[in-house]
Structure 1
């Protein structure tokens, strides 16, 4: 059983249609009844009462069956009474029958009311017309009650669809909150992983330097040349440790609340260019978009791995990066002028990159030729919202 609020558009439309119907019949009775005697005043007053009482019951009744039954009794009796006074069939039952049918919530009540709304016009006609005659109005109760049932069905479907849309919107909000929680958990896990790796890296490096400096403090007076060699070695260890710390820090996805994805990628490329003395060009195409944190981390790490491979293995001096926001996907392309390779081999770095991209239904393409550089293409589906 579907119960609509009284503010439902279907209820409002039928309510005001019935009101106009009553006013129209008041005017028709004024012209149809020729003699303005006391019967005429009684008839107009009856029409007004029969029109107003069901309207009030419609608004105030707590039980859904009260209005349809009230409509049947009052409108049915008025139809017979009015037809008798004017000595002709007076079509009145159409809109009341339709409104009653649209307000019936159960099939148990619908069937007997349907029968009675269909029988009443026939009773009214037997009062004013011979039994052998036929008037089209005899089917108005049956026809308009059927029409009201159809309208009730349409309102049922529309209401259920609206409820489903509301539930979908509620589920979307819950899912969005869940996604934010997952992103926060992912970020916390990444921070924990980073803290462990920094602890191991920094701790190991600093321990080696401290122990080396302790040894140098004894050698600086006894064997200056050996002390200088140890200092040079410790300098190299310090630089390697600093570079390792920088790599670990670069693993953190920049805050998306501060920078857009294209700005994050451009900044990462600029830092790499400064640290490695590499000529890097960055090009961004398309609108700024709000991208989920996992997607942002995937693209940031793909760019980092591609830049590292271009410099370390390809010995590239020039790298061109393009980031495109297309209708249905994001595309990150990294093209270097390094030494390239005859056959692309998916080592640990490329394999991890491919797994990350495919986890989000994306695609990784690596194209390379000997002495012709390498092109890395990262495609990810775009299911985001535009910023602003």
Structure 2
């Protein structure tokens, strides 16, 4: 609106030419310009009656054209408003009115016999004809983008609802029966513990086997909820850190090597994502280093930054500060520790001088087939 009002300064030129007219003509012309300004401002702010405002401005421009063919340039004021008309019929009427104004101005001043004047005005007329359609196309494009954003938000909302329903169904189907069975067997074992200790012991062993099966079901369910891979998260982390002005160094680690467990791959990927998020938000770091260390019996993911460090932990013997697994920490650290517990992993957070180092340790358990087809 303010940008549109700036152009009103050019109305000083017709006002200046009015000083050459008699007082009565000066007053009439000044009154017409005031009406022109009112119609211009009103049509920019309000949609109701916009077409009539445009036609009124075109009529006023036609009146000023009686004093000179160059006054047609005042039509630059209503042409953007023509493009703001949302109704196609109104847009057609306004454009026709503009064409009538052009034709009348050419005929009144007989510009076809004065080619110099005609060539000076015709480019401005062409531009004025293009502007309404350019505004209309821009407005339509904006409306389509808004509709697309609304559609994407609706799709996201529906996807989240569908995911919640899926998780609810999976929990009901996979864990409902198992937990019911554990409850029934524990009640039976409580009744048999005095009457038949051997039978009660067998029921307890069955409960243990059922609980292990439930734990496997939980792990499979968690793995299916978010199929995150560590190698993909490293590439994603590089993009996020680069956007924050932080350099990612992989320190020669082989992230393309397949991890022995899909669940471990998923959890380490989620931990790396959370670590990178914390670095971007809080560390003020310039460099972030990610290492993947394959050691006998365990796998380590080390994330280091050169930021401001962590200052809430207890001083160590050499000026280092560390948070061992199970100690306090922010919500993000607690969430990462809880994820790691699913695979018996640990998290150590150290802050030495400037910077922070997070070490995620995951045991590598080798499965070997035994007799009877059992897997340890």
Q: Shorter-chain TM-score: what band?
A: 0.5 to 0.7
1: CA distance between counterparts of 2:375 and 2:129? 73
Bigger drift between 174-183 and 163-172 goes to 174-183
- What does 1:348-367 correspond to in 2, within 5 Å? none
CA spacing shift, 1:98–1:238, aligned 2, 3 Å: closer
Q: Is 1:105 the counterpart of 2:79 in the alignment?
A: no
Q: After superposition, give the CA deviation of every residue in 1:178-232 in whole Å (9 maximum; x if it has no partner).
A: 323432343344442123332564467567765545xxxxxxxxxxxxxxxxxxx
Instruction: Determine if the alignment matches structure 1 residue 71 to structure 2 residue 54.
Output: yes
Structure 2 segments unaligned to the other structure (5+ residues)? 223-262, 269-295, 305-331, 348-359
> Is 2:82 the counterpart of 1:96?
no
The residue that corresponds to 1:133 in the other structure is: 114
Aligned match of 2:7: 21
User: Residue 122 of structure 1 contacts residue 138 of structure 1 at CA under 8 Å; is this kept in 2?
Assistant: no
Aligned-pair distance for 1:88?
4.7
SS of the aligned residue for 1:89 comes to helix
**In the alignment, what sits opposite 2:138?**
154
Give the drift of 1:22.
3.3
In the TM superposition, residue 132 of structure 1 has moved relative to its aligned partner by 0.3
Which structure 1 segments of 5+ residues have no match? 1-11, 214-232, 267-278, 305-320, 324-330, 351-388
1:32 and 2:14 aligned: no
Q: Secondary structure at the match of 2:113?
A: coil
Decide which of 244, 268, 272 is 2:209's aligned counterpart.
244
Query: Displacement, 1:157?
Result: 1.2
How far is the alpha carbon of 1:131 from its aligned partner? Answer: 4.2
**1-side partners of 2:64 and 2:135: how far apart?**
28
Name the CA shift for 1:150/1:67 in 2 (closer, same or farther; >3 Å): same
* CA distance in 1: counterparts of 2:34 and 2:161, whole angstroms: 56
Tell me the residue number matched to 2:364.
335
Residue matched to 2:236: none
Find the partner of 1:145 among 129, 142, 150. Answer: 129
TM-score relative to the length of structure 1? 0.51
1:130 CA displacement: 5.2
Structure 1 residue 93, shift from structure 2 partner:
0.6
Residues 1:120 and 1:335: Cα distance change in structure 2 (over 3 Å): same
Report the alpha carbon displacement of residue 54 of structure 1 after superposing the two structures with TM. 4.5
Q: How many residues align?
A: 257
What's the offset of the Cα at 1:52?
A: 0.9
- The equivalent position to 1:177 in structure 2, one of 136, 150, 161, is 161
Task: Say which SS state the counterpart of residue 92 (structure 1) adopts.
Answer: helix
What is the aligned-residue RMSD (CA, Å)?
4.7
More deviation, 126-135/45-54:
126-135
Alignment of 1:1-388 (within 5 A): 12=1, 16-25=2-11, 27-33=12-18, 35-38=20-23, 39-57=25-43, 59-60=45-46, 62=48, 66-72=49-55, 74-85=56-67, 87-90=68-71, 91-106=73-88, 108-128=89-109, 131-134=112-115, 135=118, 136-199=120-183, 201-202=185-186, 212=196, 237=202, 240-241=205-206, 243-244=208-209, 247=212, 250=215, 253=218, 283=300, 300=342, 303=343, 335-336=364-365, 340=368
Q: Is the 8 A contact 1:322 1:333 kept in 2?
A: yes
SS of the aligned residue for 1:103 comes to coil
The secondary structure found in structure 2 opposite 1:81 is helix
The two structures have a TM-score, normalised by structure 2, of: 0.52
Deviation string, structure 1 residues 281-336 (Cα, Å, up to 9, x no partner): 68565695999xxxx8xx95xx59xxxxxxxxxxxxxxxx689xxxxxxx997524
TM-aligned CA distance change 1:173 to 1:82, over 3 Å: same
Distance 1:138 1:17, change over 3 A: farther
Distance 2:172 2:129 in 1: 64
Pair 337,322 (structure 1): closer, same or farther in 2 beyond 3 Å: farther
